[in-house]
Each structure stands twice: as C-alpha cells, then as structure tokens.
Amino acid sequence: ETGVTQTPRHLVMGMTNKKSLKCEQHLGHNAMYWYKQSAKKPLELMFVYSLEERVENNSVPSRFSPECPNSSHLFLHLHTLQPEDSALYLCASSQGFGGSKTQYFGPGTRLLVL
C-alpha cells in the first residue's frame, strides 16, 4: 500500500470499552499527526509527533492516549470515551516539521461512541 493508511475505517464502541486506532505511513516521513473532525466543528489538531517525540498536545483529554513506536506508525488509544467523542479521526504525516511541509492525510476512522 502507498500513502497513509488507517485502521479500522469504522469503529463502534461503548463508553467502557478500550480500543486503539492505527495509522501507518509508507512515505518515509518523520512527523505524524492526529486530527479530530466532528460534525459541527472544524478539523482540530490533537497531537503531533516529530521524530517519535510528542511535540504538540492540543489540550486533549487524557482518555485519548497517543503512541508513536516508530516513524511509520502512530496509534491513538481510547478508553472511557464519551458520546461527544464520536467523530472522524484523521491521521497525517509530513517530511519534517515546521515550515512549508505539506501534510498527507489518511482516509480516517469514523468512530461512534454509544
């Protein structure tokens, strides 16, 4: 596969469940991002990892826990979520961090919290 892939594409979970979203980039990039896209709000940056170190945490609740084990993989661990966390979660990657580095986006995971 090429580009940025995300699994699963769709996820339904209860508020007491624990699940993880996975993102993989095949572009040789070294920066990765998690975004949240809700139905009624603009796309919001959640986390940024550059060279496997978290460089940005945009005031995200602790029930969202990111993990970047290497430059190609990014996870978002979810636990005790709320219905308002239902959204499309998009992953992106870029070569380098800062400046005019274009971000390439994955197709997203559509999450529904019941």
Note the residues at the interface with another protein (CB under 8 A): 4, 6, 31, 41-45, 48, 50, 55-56, 58, 90, 92, 94, 97-108, 110
Nearest distance from residue 99's CB to another protein, in Å? 7
33, 97 contact by CB (below 8 A): no
CB nearer to another protein: pick between 5 and 80: 5
38, amino acid identity: S
Nearest distance from residue 97's CB to another protein, in Å? 5
Beta strands in 43-113 (DSSP E): 44-50, 53-57, 64-70, 73-79, 87-94, 104-105, 109-113
Nearest distance from residue 80's CB to another protein, in Å? 27
36, 19 contact by CB (below 8 A): no
Please give the backbone phi and psi of residue 83, each rounded to the nearest 5 degrees, phi first. -55, -30
CA distance 48 to 100: 16
Give the position of tokens 């959640």: 46
CB nearer to another protein: pick between 10 and 16: 10
Nearest distance from residue 18's CB to another protein, in Å? 25
CB nearer to another protein: pick between 42 and 83: 42
CB nearer to another protein: pick between 16 and 42: 42
